[in-house]
């Protein structure tokens, strides 16, 4: 009786009915582009499997289409428009390798594509804000290298099967999950997927031996799964804005970059103080601890130091960050000043450039010696934007040997400091270029980017060396410069370095 009612909506024009299921009507509407805004649902179930040719705009007129179910039809042709009202999409044997970049279905709740040709989730997944479930035939995705589900805020399940995992874990939380077998996956991004409250699903990806970049920023996770320690290839771990995250029981063993900025509830990262002190084999090259006040407090406690304010906390942590560093290292964390014991420092005086000229003395040793650079940003100096951006240039004997691309410090929540350490040996990367014999001149220029509206509060440079070594540097001049002079000189010095290498 219901079918009769639908048929009476438009006896002669199927494209004006709210539901389409009779195979002849469906084929007519899809191949002849006769659909209208009255169509709200289509189910394709042919008497026998057959091929239907689709034009690019076959759904263009069906602006109110809410569900499309394909049971057994095969399609040729490339569709580049899907109605924005779609809630449910079931497309067996979807013919394309990826969803179109304009797959802007913000209202889509469920996406099922069994036995599809999908091999790349691509840009089409970035706007599925209400997606709660998706299902693909997993063997079609086994060579997938990147998954980007940015802002799929209602996503709560991922496709799964019963394959074996390369994560052999004794943890109950890990063994309970099915495995989706993505052994080639290198990047997995679920930024701002706020419905994800734990990371147990990671083991189901079966990519512990391939995943290199994991982005869980903006999710509601409370604690990372211990299974994460089995992900031996992860180099970059992004957890920024996970405001409910309290603990990281174990980091992936080869993590090089860790972003936990704005993790305001974070209290503990297992073995972090030992990693910073060089007591663990793991070496992290860059960390962003912006607005992680609870974590900073715990690090200070572990250092057995009593402090009364942010400045004292930062002062206590600087030696921890610098004591055992053997390679490049960068960290951002709450703090208000360059430490007083930094041998060279300068306060903001209205200029955008700071230059330190340092004499390296005859007793200098290249091994186990480096420069620590520090920039402090004051919340009170904000000007339209809380972000302070700057570059760093290092010259030795008028040759540019190191340049840090724009660094960014966010002072929106409070004062923050940026700390960078670079060994002298890592400044001289060009093959065949010999280290100069001491004494020599080292110049460090810290230049605020022209687009940065928030000025630096202060900056400093300090020589880091073995504890028993004698002082082997002295500050000859600290001054401010103009942008034009610094940039021009830097380009000239690098040209000089390149020219010398070519001639040798």
Summarize pLDDT for 86-99 with one digit per residue, the tens.
Answer: 999 998 888 877 77
Reported as a pLDDT band with limits 50, 70 and 90, residue 140 is: low
Confidence band, pLDDT 50/70/90 cuts, at residue 270:
confident
* Domain assignment of residue 144, yes or no: no
Alpha-carbon dihedral angle through residues 113, 116, 120, 122, given to the nearest 10 degrees: -40
pLDDT score of 126 more than 80:
no
* Contact assessment for residue 361 and residue 438, using Cβ atoms and an 8 Å cutoff: yes
Does residue 500 lie in a domain region? Answer: yes
Q: Is residue 445 part of a domain?
A: yes
Sorted by sequence, the CB contacts under 8 Å of residue 390 that are 6+ apart come out as 375, 406, 407, 446, 447, 448, 449, 452, 456
Q: What is the pLDDT of residue 153?
A: 72
Tokens of 84: 């924005």
Mean pLDDT of 377-386: 74
Say if CB 225 and CB 252 are below 8 A apart.
Answer: no
Higher pLDDT, 475 or 184: 184
Neighbours of 397 (CB within 10 A): 12
Average pLDDT of span 141-153: 74
- The residue written with tokens 């793991």 in the block is 282
Over residues 327-347, mean pLDDT: 87
- On whether residue 264 sits in a domain, the answer given is no
350 domain-assigned = yes
430 vs 336, residue with greater confidence: 336
When computed from its CA atoms, the radius of gyration of the chain, rounded to whole angstroms, is 29
Q: Cα–Cα distances in Å, from 187 out to 68, 95, 182, 300, 314?
A: 30, 24, 11, 34, 34
Is the pLDDT at 183 greater than 60? The verdict is yes
- 399 belongs to a structural domain: yes
170 pLDDT band, cuts 50/70/90, is very low
pLDDT at 444: 93
Rounded alpha-carbon distances, angstroms, from residue 205 to 171, 231, 244 = 16, 11, 24
Predicted confidence band at 46 (pLDDT cuts at 50, 70, 90)?
A: very high
**pLDDT tier at 192, thresholds 50, 70, 90:** confident
Residues above pLDDT 90, as percent of the chain: 28
- Percentage of the chain beyond pLDDT 70 is 78
Segment of 202-206, 321-325, 404-408 carrying the highest mean pLDDT: 404-408
pLDDT-based confidence at 120, cuts 50/70/90? Answer: low
Phi, psi of 172 (to 5 degrees): -60, -40
Average pLDDT over residues 15-42: 93
Inform me whether the pLDDT recorded for 266 exceeds 80.
yes
Distance of CA 188 to the CA centre of its chain: 10
Averaged pLDDT, 271-278: 76
Q: Return the higher-pLDDT residue of 199 and 138.
A: 199
Domain count, the chain: 1
Cβ neighbours of residue 366 closer than 8 Å, sequence gap 6 or more: 424, 425, 435
CB atoms within 10 A of CB 340: 9
Over 340-383, what HEC string results? CCCCEEEECCCCCEEEEEEEECCCCCCCCCEEEEEEEECHHHCE
Give pLDDT tens digits for 223-255.
888 888 889 999 999 999 999 999 999 899 999
Structure confidence at residue 41 (pLDDT): 95
pLDDT at residue 122 in the model: 62
- Cβ neighbours, 10 Å, residue 496: 13
- Mean of the pLDDT values across residues 264-288? 83
> Which residue range forms the structural domain that includes residue 413?
325-504
* pLDDT for 99: 78
Residue 470's CB is within 10 A of a number of other CB atoms, namely 8
Q: What pLDDT score was predicted for residue 486?
A: 43
- When mean pLDDT is compared across 173-182, 293-302, 327-336, the lowest value belongs to 173-182
**pTM of the entire structure?**
0.75
Q: If you average pLDDT over every residue of the chain, what do you get?
A: 80
Backbone φ/ψ region at 142: left (φ over 0), alpha (ψ -120 to 50), beta:
alpha
User: Residue 30 has what pLDDT?
Assistant: 92
Per-residue pLDDT, 261: 94
Give the residue-averaged pLDDT of 171-184.
Answer: 52
Checking if the pLDDT of 194 tops 70, the result is yes
Average pLDDT of the residues in 404-415: 83
Confidence at residue 141, expressed as pLDDT on a 0 to 100 scale: 64
Torsion of Cα atoms, 304 then 310 then 316 then 320, to 10°? 100
Contact 344, 358 (CB under 8 A): yes
CA distance 247 to 421: 27
Q: Which range has the worst mean pLDDT, 180-184, 297-301, 339-343?
A: 180-184
Percent composition of the chain: helix, strand, coil (DSSP 3-state, to 5) = 20, 25, 55
The residue ranking higher by pLDDT, 343 or 236, is 236
Tell whether 47 is covered by a domain: no
Q: Tens digit of pLDDT for each residue in 411-448?
A: 777 888 999 999 988 886 555 667 888 889 999 999 98
Determine, yes or no, domain membership for 382.
yes
Q: Which contacts (CB < 8 Å, 24+ apart) does range 170-177 have?
A: 171/225, 171/226, 171/227, 173/198, 173/200, 173/225, 173/226, 173/227, 174/200, 174/203, 174/225, 174/226, 174/227, 176/200, 177/201, 177/203, 177/204
């Amino acid at each position: 009786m219901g079918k009769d009612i639908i048929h009476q909506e438009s006896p002669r024009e199927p494209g004006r009915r709210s539901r389409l299921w009779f195979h002849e009507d469906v084929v007519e509407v899809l191949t002849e582009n006769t659909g209208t805004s009255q169509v709200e649902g289509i189910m394709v179930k042919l008497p026998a499997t057959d091929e239907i040719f689709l034009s690019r705009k076959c759904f263009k007129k069906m602006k109110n289409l809410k569900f499309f179910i394909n049971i057994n039809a095969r399609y040729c042709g490339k569709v580049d428009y899907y109605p924005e009202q779609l809630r449910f999409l079931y497309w067996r044997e979807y013919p394309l390798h990826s969803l179109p970049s304009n797959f802007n279905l913000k209202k889509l709740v469920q996406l099922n594509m069994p036995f599809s040709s999908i091999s790349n989730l691509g840009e089409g997944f970035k706007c599925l804000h209400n997606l709660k479930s998706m299902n693909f035939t997993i063997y079609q995705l086994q060579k997938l290298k990147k998954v980007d589900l940015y802002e799929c805020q209602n996503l709560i399940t991922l496709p799964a099967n019963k394959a074996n995992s390369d994560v052999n874990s004794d943890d109950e939380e890990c063994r309970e999950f099915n495995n989706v077998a993505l052994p080639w996956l290198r990047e997995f991004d679920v930024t701002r997927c706020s419905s994800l409250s734990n990371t147990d699903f990671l083991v189901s990806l079966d990519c512990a031996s391939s995943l290199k970049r994991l982005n869980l920023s903006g999710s509601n996770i409370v604690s990372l799964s211990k299974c994460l320690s089995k992900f031996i290839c992860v180099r970059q771990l992004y957890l920024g804005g996970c405001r409910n995250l309290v603990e990281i029981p174990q980091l992936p063993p080869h993590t090089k970059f860790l972003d936990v900025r704005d993790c305001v509830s974070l209290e503990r990262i297992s073995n972090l103080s030992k990693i910073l002190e060089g007591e663990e084999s793991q070496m992290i090259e860059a960390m962003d601890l912006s607005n992680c006040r609870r974590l900073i407090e715990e690090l200070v406690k572990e250092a057995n130091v009593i402090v009364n304010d942010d400045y004292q906390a930062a002062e206590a942590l600087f030696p921890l960050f610098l004591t055992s560093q053997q390679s490049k290292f960068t960290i951002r964390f709450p703090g208000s000043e360059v430490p007083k014991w930094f041998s060279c420092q300068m306060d903001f005086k209205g200029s955008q450039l700071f230059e330190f000229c340092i004499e390296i003395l005859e007793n200098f040793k290249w091994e186990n010696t480096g420069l620590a650079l520090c920039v402090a940003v004051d919340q009170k100096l904000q000007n339209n934007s809380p972000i302070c951006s700057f570059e760093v240039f290092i010259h030795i004997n008028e040759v540019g040997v190191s340049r840090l691309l724009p660094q960014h410090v966010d002072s929106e929540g409070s004062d923050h400091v940026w700390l960078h350490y670079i060994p002298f040996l890592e400044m001289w990367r060009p093959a065949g270029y010999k280290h100069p014999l001491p004494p020599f001149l080292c110049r460090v220029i810290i230049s605020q980017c022209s687009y940065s509206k928030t000025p630096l509060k202060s900056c400093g440079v300090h020589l880091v060396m073995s504890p028993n070594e004698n002082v082997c540097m002295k500050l000859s001049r600290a001054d401010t410069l103009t942008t034009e002079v610094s940039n021009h000189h830097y380009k000239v010095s690098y040209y000089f370095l390149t020219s010398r290498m070519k001639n040798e």
